[in-house]
Amino acid sequence: MGMFDEIIVPKSYLKSLLDKKDEHLFNTSHTFQTKDMRCAMDVYKVYRQRLYKLEKNGFSGKKENWTSVNDNVDIRFFDSIKDDKGDAWWSEFEFTFKKGRIDTKSKIRLNITETKKDRAEIDRMWDTEQEILDAYRNRSVKYKIFAFLEKRFQKAANWARRKHSIPLPIRREAYEKSGRLKKDPDCLNVYKDV
């Protein structure tokens, strides 16, 4: 699915977009996901008609520092919600910000994606399938032999892969001479744990 950012939107900003019966689905300050910003796991919030971003201070224990975002941006945000009856809902909204202030709001989708009854039926089917498959796995000698061999061959393949891996100093020398290390200083990071 990839990385995303979070945006905290008070329910009061959604009320004009929701039917009265749907308001109970959302918390007072509901946290949604969005992929319309940097996708760097940042946290944004809507407060007093403006967009703010939480500044990352590491683990300093300091008070949260929110800075105003003064951009023109359309933010589509979404969440999967379970209601009191156990039904799953998909909610999706879009807010347009002009110089960091809310300009327009719209509801894209708010609908039931799966009822509790549907989920119970899928779980029942899954359980039935797994019972049959597990029974085969437990009684089939052929399955057990080849599962055992696969596990041993996988261990041998992993051992062989570790034995013929190129040492990091050799790879560094090659990357320095080719110019890759200068162009991308982080290119060796992927090999440090190997």
The predicted-structure confidence for 79-106, as pLDDT tens digits, reads as follows: 999 999 999 999 999 999 999 999 999 9
Phi, psi dihedral angles at 56 (to 5 degrees): -85, 120
Domain encompassing residue 26: 5-114
Residue 191 belongs to some domain of the structure: no
Task: Classify residue 57: in a domain, yes or no.
Answer: yes
What percentage of the chain carries pLDDT values higher than 70?
Answer: 95
**Domain membership flag for residue 133:** no
Reported pTM: 0.66
> What is the total count of domains within the chain?
1
Q: How many residues does the chain have?
A: 194
Q: Is residue 119 part of a domain?
A: no
| Domain assignment present for 96 | yes
174 in a structural domain: no
Report pLDDT digits (tens) over 34-69: 999 988 899 999 999 999 999 976 555 667 899 999
Q: Take residue 64 and report the two structure tokens written for it.
A: 């949260």
Nearest Cα neighbor of 82 from 38, 35, 116 is 116
Nearest-angstrom CA–CA distance, 78 and 34: 7
Task: Let me know if residue 140 belongs to a domain.
Answer: no
Q: Enumerate the H helices of the chain as residue ranges.
A: 116-139, 141-163, 168-178, 180-183
Q: Classify residue 109: in a domain, yes or no.
A: yes
